[in-house]
Amino acid sequence: EMVLTQSPATLSLSPGERATLSCRSRQSVSSYLAWYQQKPGQAPRLLIYDASYRATGVPARFRGSGSGTDFTLTISSLEPEDFAVYYCQLRSDWMYTFGQGTKLEIK
Amino acid sequence: EVQLVESGGGLVKPGGSLRLSCAASGIAFNDAWMAWVRQAPGKGLEWVGRIKSKIDGPTTDYAAPVKGRFTISRDESMNTLYLQMSSLKTEDTAVYYCTTVLGNPPSYYYYYMGVWGKGTTVTVSS
B16: which strand partners? none
- The yes-or-no verdict on residue B15 having pLDDT over 90 is yes
Q: Residue A24: which pLDDT band, with cuts at 50, 70 and 90?
A: very high
Spatial contact of A72 and A22, defined as CB atoms under 8 Å apart: yes
Interface with A, mutate which of B2, B45, B96 (most A CBs under 10 A) = B45
Q: What is the per-residue pLDDT for B124?
A: 98
Spatial contact of B35 and B48, defined as CB atoms under 8 Å apart: yes
Residues of A within 8 A of B119 (CB-CB) are: 43
| Burial of A1: CB neighbours in 10 Å, binned 0-12, 13-18, 19+ | exposed
- DSSP 8-state class, residue B56: G
Measured distance CA(A63)–CA(A34) in Å, rounded: 12
Is A2's Cβ below 8 Å from some Cβ in B? no
Q: What is the pLDDT of residues B60-110, one digit of tens each?
A: 999 999 999 999 999 999 999 999 999 999 999 999 999 999 998 777 889
Whole-Å CA distances, A22 to A26, A68, B20:
13, 13, 34
Q: What is the per-residue pLDDT for B58?
A: 86
